Amino acid sequence: MNLVHLRRFWLAGVVLVAVLAVLPFSFHAERHLETATRVEGSEAEVVTEALTTRFHSPFVDRVVLVAQGLPPADSEDGEQALAIIVAGLREEPGVSGVVSHLELRDPIFVGKGGLGKGGGTFVLVGLASTEGPVESLVPKLHDRANALQKQLQGRYPAVKLELTGELPLNFDIRKVSADDVQRGESLVIPATLILLLVAFGSLVAALIPLAVGQLAIATTLAIAGFLAARLHLSILVQNLATMLGLGLGIDYALLMVSRFREAISAGLDGPAASIIAARQAGRTLMISASTVAIGFLALLTVPISEIRSIGIAGFLVAGISVLLANTLVPAVMGLLGPRIDAGRLPFVPRSDAQGAERTGNRWRKWGRVIVAHPWLAIVLAGSPLLLLAWQATRLDTSLPKGDWLPAAAESVHALHDLERMDRAGIVQSLRVIVELPTDSITQTDAGWAALDRLSKRFASDPRCDRVISMTTIADGDRSFLTSITRETRRSFLSSDGRAALLEVLPATSVSLREQVNWVRELRKTGAEALTGVPGATLRIGGIPALNADYESIIDQRFLSVMELVVGGTLIALLAGFRSLFAAVKAILLNLVSVAASFGALVLVFQDGHGSRFLGVPVGTGSVFPLVPIVAFAIVFGLSMDYEVFLVARVLEARRAGLIETEAIPEGLARTAGLITSAAAIMIVVFAAFTFGNFLVVKMIGFTLAVAVLIDATLVRIVIGPALLRIAGDWNWWPGGLATSGKAPAMASEADDD
């Protein structure tokens, strides 16, 4: 046994050295994570690629500089001020193009006040980064805008220059995300420490799971930072790594510490107790982590950068958490021995063998009540659960209505200024590329007429504010093309002359959801009907098109993700329990838990019942498309932990000779305390993130917290044991009760108390 302990000690040392080696890189991981959403192979991405390779457009990536407090853009003073701004922007490294009222005498560059009335203006700035993501240019452009504002303030005291557009908005979301992580940790860590102190009654025992959670987060972020150099990883990695690292890391370490203290209470020394804990609790942890990992691996099949990033983050967190719990934690506990109870708190109930027995007796009595009245328990607990699950049938996964962007961000202020100028469409424009089969758009009358016809058709739509294309810039006169700058020509015409870009600006009154529906309508209509040219093709990009592609991909992949998660989990449970009923029952109960949590999401966020307490004044009308698919994958794995703990102990009791009516209360006595402690920590962790400013993270945190609450109370403590009682020996068919040979790993002592 000493040799085994020595080997485990050296393995733990290797793991510790590896973790400490990558730890410093976790502090810089945020810089490598992206806020832009990428939908691989989508039509919006094809448009972006075409603008880069076929058009060589300087405005593939762009920002909008909103200028307030200057003279009208068409006045002499206004043009002088604009000239200073444009010249300063052109000097900034990474700026690939600048367009303002100076370069393009178009009323679009003048705000609602109109020409000569000082309605504000904007400057379109193209960006091209040769080093790192284009987002890295945004802070430098902020500095340049601030410098230009100070330069102009002497003459125009009210001048205000602010950046907006997709890139600045994403940049500000990154800052909000980082702030939410810090705020969440500041709320979670003290609350979690209190719960651990209540669970263990000693400071040393409580600090070990907390330390594992922190190490799991830091290691995950460090590895994610390395992976981001080759993969497109979303900023959501930061939120999910923190949320799940604290939840899973603490949960797994909690299980290991509990089993170790049980062995110490039985009279074993530190090394022997750590070996027992690693062998018995460690097996359960491996199965539990596997069910969690299955859900995250399923997310990798969705070709959306945000969802794949969450899958990678979750898989890393689960793997690192179980690695630390199975190596580092037993080594530390082996060194501590009985000193793990150091720092005992006098006001906390004892959690030694006597205290655990008293707690177990209370749960044993509860189990006997459930066993005596299983149908009544199912009706009382299942009725409200099914009613809540029924609300999930109203789940709407289109983009939420209202202004859910971070209100304090400069980019959001600038966007609202554009809205007041009635020019917000420049940020949310449809970037339409039309390609003719044979005619050159600028060199043949037929090609020019087709583009002009399409531009006018878009402009006649009441949802359209403006159309900017080669024909609108030239005012319909093809001879005017000779005076158009090379920069403008590259922006709106491909190098071979057969494809053209139309910037279709939606009216400010058109919501994001209406813009998405417009994109779908145009794609369904098709290029031939819109242009009147057989063989013509039309592709739509821009933010509305990206949102449409995003929603479509999730609709297409949600069912396959569910099938992968359910199928993979079913196989894992069948292998562990060797029982068809136990595995199928666990799957069905998990589906009910997920549906009920979705129902709560509908009532609170979509309908707005109580949402104001979470910082959302009114109902959002829908939920972000990624929330259900991500929540399903996460919840299914997390909920399975508690099923593993409970059913494994009931099965162990049956194999020891107890009948079903005795084994179920015994299983509850051994695991219910652990389930409630672990669930309480999970709920605190997830709930803390519902009070941030990032709405999508609010929704995910809320859904996970509700799912764990439902699963750890009504499902695992009431409905699950009642179903076990009703099924009787069928629970373990065909081979669960077999005791010959080696018992399944899952059925070994699964740890709790």
| pLDDT tens per residue across span 536-560 | 899 999 989 998 998 899 988 889 9
pLDDT for 430 equals 93
Do 133 and 266 sit in the same domain of this protein? Answer: no
pLDDT tens per residue, range 249-288: 887 888 788 778 778 877 778 788 888 877 777 777 787 7
34 within some domain: no
- Overall average pLDDT of the 412-439 stretch: 87
704 within some domain: yes
Which residue has better confidence, 247 or 384? 384
Sign of dihedral through CA atoms 345, 349, 352, 354?
Answer: positive
Contact 437, 549 (CB under 8 A): no
Predicted confidence band of residue 204 (pLDDT cuts 50, 70, 90): confident
> Tokens at residue 235, please?
């900023």
Do 176 and 66 sit in the same domain of this protein? Answer: no
466 within some domain: yes
- Overall average pLDDT of the 408-435 stretch: 88
pLDDT for 391 equals 93
pLDDT over threshold 90, residue 29:
no
pLDDT for 657 equals 75
At 554, the amino acid letter reads I
Do 139 and 180 sit in the same domain of this protein? Answer: no
Cα atoms in the 13 Å half-sphere on the side-chain side of 558? 14
Do 499 and 517 sit in the same domain of this protein? Answer: yes
pLDDT over threshold 50, residue 753:
no
pLDDT over threshold 60, residue 1:
no
Do 506 and 365 sit in the same domain of this protein? Answer: no
Q: Which of 132, 148, 164 is the last residue of a domain?
A: 164
Please state, as a whole number, how many other Cβ atoms lie within 10 Å of the Cβ of residue 479. 7
- Overall average pLDDT of the 291-318 stretch: 86
262 within some domain: yes
203 within some domain: yes
Do 68 and 159 sit in the same domain of this protein? Answer: yes
- Residue 192 DSSP SS3: helix
Predicted confidence band of residue 617 (pLDDT cuts 50, 70, 90): confident
CA 20 to CA 301: how far, in whole Å?
Answer: 32
Contact 325, 313 (CB under 8 A): no
What's the N-to-C CA distance of the chain in angstroms?
A: 25
Do 558 and 532 sit in the same domain of this protein? Answer: no
48 within some domain: no
pLDDT over threshold 70, residue 186:
yes
Do 503 and 584 sit in the same domain of this protein? Answer: no
pLDDT for 115 equals 41
DSSP 106-155: -GGGB-TT-TTTT--EEEEEEE--SSS-GGGGHHHHHHHHHHHHHHHHTT
pLDDT over threshold 80, residue 730:
no
- Overall average pLDDT of the 739-744 stretch: 40
Q: Which of 111, 141, 164 is the last residue of a domain?
A: 164
pLDDT tens per residue, range 353-376: 455 566 667 888 888 888 888 899
CA 107 to CA 115: how far, in whole Å?
Answer: 7
- Overall average pLDDT of the 190-219 stretch: 83
Average pLDDT, the chain: 81
Which residue has better confidence, 110 or 627? 627
User: Would the pTM count as exceeding 0.75?
Assistant: yes
pLDDT over 70, % of the chain: 90
- Overall average pLDDT of the 719-743 stretch: 69
35 within some domain: no
CA 283 to CA 675: how far, in whole Å?
Answer: 17
Domain with 142 in it: what CATH number? 3.30.70.1430
pLDDT over threshold 60, residue 402:
yes
Please classify residue 734 by burial: count the beta carbons closer than 10 Å to its beta carbon, then call 0-12 exposed, 13-18 middle and 19+ buried: exposed
Do 646 and 683 sit in the same domain of this protein? Answer: yes
360 within some domain: yes
pLDDT for 749 equals 37
pLDDT for 740 equals 38
Most confident by average pLDDT, 127-136, 437-446, 554-563: 554-563
- Could you give the number of structural domains in the chain? 3
Do 377 and 514 sit in the same domain of this protein? Answer: no
**Parent domain of 671:** 2-29+170-402+548-746
Do 588 and 701 sit in the same domain of this protein? Answer: yes
pLDDT tens per residue, range 500-525: 999 999 988 888 888 999 999 999 99
- Overall average pLDDT of the 709-721 stretch: 85
CA 683 to CA 722: how far, in whole Å?
Answer: 24
pLDDT over threshold 70, residue 189:
yes
Edge-first strand listing for the sheet containing 121-127: 95-99, 121-127, 61-68, 160-164
- Residue 503 DSSP SS3: strand
Do 273 and 349 sit in the same domain of this protein? Answer: yes
Q: Which of 103, 133, 164 is the last residue of a domain?
A: 164
pLDDT tens per residue, range 564-598: 888 888 887 777 667 787 778 888 888 888 899 99
pLDDT over 90, % of the chain: 16
pLDDT tens per residue, range 454-495: 999 999 999 998 898 888 888 767 666 666 777 778 888 888
